[in-house]
Amino acid sequence: MTTLPVTTSPAFRAPRGTYDLIPPRSAAYLAVREAFAAPARRAGYGYVETPGFEDVRLFARGVGESTDIVTKEMYTLTTRGGDELALRPEGTASVLRAALENNLHKQGNLPVKLWYSGSYYRYERPQKGRYRHFSQVGAEAIGAEDPALDAELIVLAVDGYRALGLTGFRLLLNSLGDRECRPAYRTALQDFLRGLDLDGPTRERIEINPLRVLDDKRPEIRAQLDAAPLMRDHLCEACKAYHEQVRELLTAAGVAYEDDPRLVRGLDYYTRTTFEFAHDGLGAQSAIGGGGRYDGLSEMIGGPALPSVGWALGVDRTVLALAAEGVELDLPAATDVYAAALGERARRTLFGVVTELRRAGVAADFAFGGKGLKNALKSADRSGARFALVAGERDLDEGVVQLKDLGSGEQRPVALAAVVDELRGLLA
C-alpha cells in the first residue's frame, strides 16, 4: 500500500490583502527604502517615526471626510477607554501632527525637513499592486512656501527611482490652485457635474468636494468627464507664476515631466503643486508614488498656518515596477564567508574567527547544529557565500585554516592569525 505524504497547513495565515515580507524578497524592499531615503538624508531631511494608529479625527479632518480613504478604507477601532482610533492610512497628517506637537516649527529653522518609512493600512479590494497593508517612504518639508522646495522634493524622488535603475516611470504634474482661485473653479465644476448622469453617492460628493469626482476611476464616470472644466484655466496669476517656476526648476535639474491638467490625487489637502509618478508596466494600478503642496493642512488639524509640501513613494509598487522592467538590484550578499568546524576545538576557534569577521564588517555565518562537512558545504552554497572556512584538529595544530573559494573550488591553507585580513582583502 502506498503511503501518501502528510501535509499540514498552519493554524493561522496572514489576513487577506496582506503579506509576509521574508528573505530573499525582503532584501529588495530594504534596497528600495534605502534608495528613497538616501537622497532625502543628503538634502537635510531628518528621520521621524509616528505611531501606527492615531485619533480618527486627524485623518477625517486632514485627508478629507469625502475621500474614499476616510469613508470606505480606514481601519478604525474603539479603545476600552472609549477613544476612537484609526490605523494610519497615509503618513503626511501624522508627520505634521508630530511636528506641531513637538514644536518643531518654533525652533527657528524653517522649513522643517522630515523623512519617514513604515506600513500603512487601507481596507481595499486586494489585487496586484494594491494591498490592505503596504509600505511607503515619505518626505515632508513643513513651514515654507517656495517653488524651489516643491522642485527639490520632486528631484529627490526622481533621483531615488534612478538610483534603483528604474527608467520607465513618468512624472505627471499639475496645479490645483489655492484658496484665492479654487472657489471659482469649484463653482464651475459643480455646475458641470450636476448635469451628468451620476449615482447618489457621487452627487453627494459634488456638494462636499467636487474634485473627488474627477478622481473617480470608474469607466462609466470617467467617460462623462472629458468636457469637465480644468483647474489650469481658472488659476490666479500668483498660482500660474508659482507653477511656472516649479516647471522651470525641474527643467533646469534635468527632470522631464508631463503636464496633466486632470491630475487630482486622492486626498483633500492638496493645493498648488500636485504630482504623481506612474509606471505603465503595472497596468491599471500605474501610480508608484506622488505628492504635492498642502498649504492649509496645518490649520485643518488645529495648527498655525504652515505652508508645506511632501511626497510618499510606494515600496511595494516600486518593487513591481522593477520586476516589470526586468531590473535586477545589486543586493549585498547575506553571507560572504561560511565556517565549518571539524571537532570541538575547531568549533570554538572558528566561532571566534566568525565573530571577528563580523566585527570587521564581513558577512559571515557558522555551521550550527553539528553538521558534517558535506552538509555544511551544501549550506554554504545555499547561503550564497563566496568562501568557506574549514578547520580540523590537524589544521589547528599547524596554525592554519582551509580557505575554499566556492566559485572555483580552489582550496588553500591560510595562517589562522591572518585569515581575517586575507578575507577582507579578497572581498574588497
Supply 352's cell numbers.
571566534
Buried b (16+ CB within 10 A) or exposed e, 353-391: bbeebeeeebbbbbbeeeeeeeebbebbeebebbbbbbb
- Alpha-carbon distance of 51 to 88, in angstroms, equals 8
pLDDT value for 4: 52
At residue 146, the pLDDT reads 97
What's the pLDDT score for residue 176? 92
**Distance between CA 190 and CA 369 in Å, rounded?**
71
d(CA 144, CA 128): 37
- The tens digit of pLDDT for each residue in 64-118 reads 766 677 778 899 999 999 999 999 999 999 999 999 999 999 998 899 999 999 9
Provide the pLDDT for residue 415.
Answer: 96
Separation of alpha carbons 181 and 233, rounded Å: 10
Predicted local confidence at residue 1, as pLDDT: 46
Cβ contacts of 320 within 8 Å, gap of 6 or more: 128, 129, 281, 282, 288
Domains of the chain, CATH where assigned? 25-181+235-325 (3.30.930.10), 337-427 (3.40.50.800)
Distance from C-alpha of 327 to C-alpha of 63, rounded to nearest angstrom? 34
Conformational region of residue 44, where left means phi above 0, alpha means psi within -120 to 50, and beta covers everything else? left
Q: Which residue has the cell 505524504?
A: 5
Residue 78 confidence (pLDDT)? 95
- pLDDT, tens only, 284-330: 778 999 999 999 899 999 999 999 999 999 999 999 999 999 999 98
* Position 334 pLDDT exceeds 50: yes
Q: Are 48 and 98 in contact (CB under 8 A)?
A: yes
Q: Is 306 exposed, middle or buried (0-12, 13-18, 19+ CB in 10 A)?
A: buried
3-state secondary structure of 148: helix
State the number of CA atoms in the 13 A half-sphere of 280 facing the CB.
5
Q: Which three cell numbers stand for residue 163?
A: 538610483
Q: Which residue has the higher pLDDT, 363 or 7?
A: 363
Enter the pTM of the model: 0.89
386, 407 in Cβ contact below 8 A? yes
> What's the farthest any 2 CA atoms get from each other in the chain?
92
93 or 4, which is more confident:
93
The answer to whether 416 touches 410, Cβ cutoff 8 Å, is: no
Q: Dihedral sign for Cα 322, 326, 327, 330, please.
A: positive
Short-list 384, 282, 291, 289, CA closest to 337: 384
> Position 419: which residue type?
V
User: Residue 204: is its pLDDT beyond 90?
Assistant: no
The average confidence (pLDDT) of the chain is 91
The three-class DSSP label of residue 240 is: helix
CA distances from 124 to 13, 65, 388 (A): 19, 17, 48
- Say which residues have a Cβ less than 8 Å from residue 213's Cβ, sequence separation at least 6: 189, 193, 198, 202, 205, 206, 221, 225
pLDDT digits (tens, 9 = 90+) for 394-426: 999 999 999 999 999 999 999 999 999 999 999
Question: Which tens digits make up the pLDDT trace of 209-266?
Answer: 888 788 777 888 888 988 899 889 999 999 999 999 999 999 999 999 999 998 887 6
What pLDDT is stored for residue 65 in this prediction? 67
* Model pLDDT for residues 166-193, shown as the tens digit of each residue: 999 999 999 999 989 988 888 998 999 9
Helix ranges (DSSP H) in 270-397: 297-300, 315-325, 344-359, 373-383, 393-397
Q: How far is CA 424 from CA 66, 277, 401, in A?
A: 58, 41, 15
CA distances from 382 to 285, 379, 385, 387, 412 (A): 36, 5, 8, 12, 22
pLDDT at 392 over 60: yes
Which burial class, exposed, middle or buried, applies to 67 when counting CB atoms under 10 A from its CB (0-12, 13-18, 19+)?
buried
Which residues share a beta bridge with 76?
86
